[in-house]
Amino acid sequence: MGLHERNHGTTVDPDPLLQVVSHRLPTAVVVAAGGEIDLATADRLVTAVRAEFDLRPGIVVIELSAVTFLSSIGLAVLLEAQRTADGCRQLLRIVVGDGRPVARSVAASGLSDHLPLFRTLDEALTAA
């Protein structure tokens, strides 16, 4: 697990393979990840997302537009996040970008209909 620094509502994970940054907004928290999500790094994203759900922000947005590789383990992380959101009656929104590795992996896995996917962060934050 990477080192976490807290400053003004932002958490930063400086791992070179997967960077995870959390930022609190008035009605949501955004957990942004960049890099590779695979067996070696997925636990960093799981830890960050679980921590945010524990704080009960109401809406957790996982921003994956800067992810360059998403393995089946990464897909499992997204499914776990959806189950966690359902279990604690919070909303999950996942930003996949357009034509990015994440969008392709989710589509290829057949999970597009099971996860709340958005092309942009703005769309995720303004969705009803």
- 13 pLDDT band, cuts 50/70/90, is low
Could you write out the DSSP letters of every residue in the chain? Answer: ----EEETTEEEE--SSEEEEEEE-SS-EEEEEEEEESTTTHHHHHHHHHHHHHT--SEEEEEEEEEEEE-HHHHHHHHHHHHHHHHTT-EEEEE--SSSHHHHHHHHHT-TTTS-EESSHHHHHH--
Domains of the chain are 5-121 (3.30.750.24)
What's the pLDDT at 27? 86
The predicted model gives 104-116 an average pLDDT of: 93
Does residue 98 have a pLDDT over 90? no
Does residue 18 have a pLDDT over 70? yes
What's the pLDDT at 100? 80
